[in-house]
Amino acid sequence: MPDLAMPDLNMPDLAHLPYPFGGPCTSGADCSSGMCLPSGVCGKACSAVSDCPAPDWTCSGSCMCTPSGPEVCDGHDNDCNGLVDDVVAPNSARYVLDQIFMPTVVHQYGIDLNGDGKVDNALFNILNGVKALAPFDPQTSVNMSIANGSMLYLLDERSADTTFTSDACAGVVMRRAQQTTPKFDGTDTFMIDTTEAAANLYGAIAASQFASAPAPVATTIPVHMKLLLPILPGGLGMPLVGVQVQFTRDQGKLRLGALQGAILRTDLEKILIPQLAGLGTALSPAFFDDGGKPSAACGATCQNPDGTCAVAGDSIDDICEVSTNTLVTSLLQPDVQLFDAQGNFHPNPANTKPDCVSVGLGFTAVPAVFTPSGP
């Protein structure tokens, strides 16, 4: 059985080039649309103004915006980066997540990701399903990974209000920390893991409660973040899209925290399935070794991505045997549609063609120091 506490730190981060609409760019080659706007973000074609960020954007065959100056807190996208009121506030309160909670009931810690009025969080069902594949407890795995310092996340709350009580244009930056043994007593100093991109979120603070905005259904430029999830023993780094966060500041600590987002079904297939196949008998002897789903190329067995055919009963869990396994396909069933046919982030309340698996988890956090100390 693999070490339940240690994540696969060699799992490569996914490259998102070329970037979709709203991604950073210096030329059209950086963008899937081939359009890089003067504001340094990827553009896209449009047929109506509703295809573009609101407000301040227009549609003239492509989404267009004229910068009016540096971003200020006025309800407008002044710098035309597709985000409203993404102001870098002067005051910083820094924390490390000391507890991360997996959902224990359906939809716990979830939010409405696609605008259909229903709370989305498929993580509870996924974690219950993986228990049938590997005899480990996801919450115990998370607790051990936090304690040994291999699953540490840093949160930087930014505000113009020195008391962090009320601010219409606050922000949060979330980052992964390098592995170290934490004390969680408020005196810890952590090194930022610069190999993983920061997640920059914006929203309001009211009565010491922060909630990121806008809701996923109201934006065309989602927040991305890579998150270690206990889908397998030791955890697995998965890219989240449409990230949202909420928490309450109480006596210098953060409580009632929740983080949400979604995983593209294609990312689950590319990352999780090869890992399941690689675990082999660590799960149970020849767990998937049944030949998989019959295919035209291989007859009674399935065909692997490299063109080889699976062989039933050979004590090898082939990738195609895993990907066509009934339990695995049910676990990876997407529950929300967040992208349109052109690959643009465009949540669909009708859920016509679900393409993502929703995720939500809880957390608390205690004060900490980050190194380097800059934003």
Average pLDDT, the chain: 85
C-alpha closest to that of 171 among 271, 86, 82: 86
Least confident of 266-280, 285-299, 318-332: 266-280
The radius of gyration of the chain's CA atoms, rounded to the nearest angstrom, is 22
The predicted pLDDT at position 8 comes to 30
- Give the model's confidence band at 63: pLDDT under 50 very low, under 70 low, under 90 confident, else very high: confident
- Give the model's confidence band at 351: pLDDT under 50 very low, under 70 low, under 90 confident, else very high: very high
pLDDT digits (tens, 9 = 90+) for 136-159: 788 999 999 999 999 999 999 999
C-alpha closest to that of 113 among 344, 339, 342: 339
The predicted pLDDT at position 353 comes to 94
- What dihedral do alpha carbons 76, 82, 84, 86 form, nearest 10°? -130
Per cent of the chain over pLDDT 90 is 46
CA pair distance 290, 367, nearest whole angstrom: 51
CA pair distance 147, 183, nearest whole angstrom: 9
The predicted pLDDT at position 373 comes to 52
> In this structure, is residue 184 part of a structural domain?
yes
C-alpha closest to that of 220 among 28, 100, 46, 60: 46
Mean of the pLDDT values across residues 24-31?
86
The predicted pLDDT at position 286 comes to 59
- Residue 109 in this model has a pLDDT that exceeds 70: yes
158 bridge partner residues? 92, 171
The predicted pLDDT at position 4 comes to 27
- Residue 11 in this model has a pLDDT that exceeds 80: no
The predicted pLDDT at position 282 comes to 52
Least confident of 4-18, 26-40, 129-143, 308-322: 4-18
CA pair distance 175, 89, nearest whole angstrom: 17
- H/E stretch holding 98 reads strand 91-101
C-alpha closest to that of 367 among 175, 185, 145: 185
371 bridge partner residues? 191
C-alpha closest to that of 128 among 277, 318, 302, 327: 327
> In this structure, is residue 62 part of a structural domain?
no
User: Which residues contact residue 278 at a Cβ distance below 8 angstroms, ignoring those fewer than 6 apart?
Assistant: none
Tokens coding 372? 């380097």
CA pair distance 170, 43, nearest whole angstrom: 26
Mean of the pLDDT values across residues 287-294?
86
CA 345 to each of CA 21, 63, 114, 212, 226: distance values in angstroms, whole numbers, following the listed order:
8, 14, 11, 18, 17
- Residue 2 in this model has a pLDDT that exceeds 60: no
CA pair distance 311, 68, nearest whole angstrom: 63
Residue with tokens 């430029």: 221
Cβ-based neighbour number of residue 62 at 10 Å: 16
pLDDT digits (tens, 9 = 90+) for 43-58: 888 888 888 887 888 8
- Residue 6 in this model has a pLDDT that exceeds 60: no
> In this structure, is residue 8 part of a structural domain?
no
Per cent of the chain over pLDDT 70 is 92
CA pair distance 292, 321, nearest whole angstrom: 4
Tokens coding 243? 């990230």
- H/E stretch holding 240 reads strand 236-250
- H/E stretch holding 323 reads helix 319-323
- Residue 7 in this model has a pLDDT that exceeds 60: no
- Residue 172 in this model has a pLDDT that exceeds 70: yes
Whether 23 and 31 have beta carbons less than 8 Å apart is answered as: yes
Task: Give the largest Cα separation in the chain, rounded.
Answer: 68
The structural domain count of the chain equals 1
Whether 64 and 80 have beta carbons less than 8 Å apart is answered as: no
- Residue 281 in this model has a pLDDT that exceeds 80: no
DSSP 262: E
The predicted pLDDT at position 50 comes to 80
More confident residue, 310 or 316: 310
CA pair distance 276, 281, nearest whole angstrom: 10
What is the residue type of 260? Q
Mean of the pLDDT values across residues 208-215?
93
Residue 199, domain extent:
91-270+332-371
205 bridge partner residues? 167, 210
Q: Is 117 helix (H, G, I), strand (E, B) or coil?
A: coil
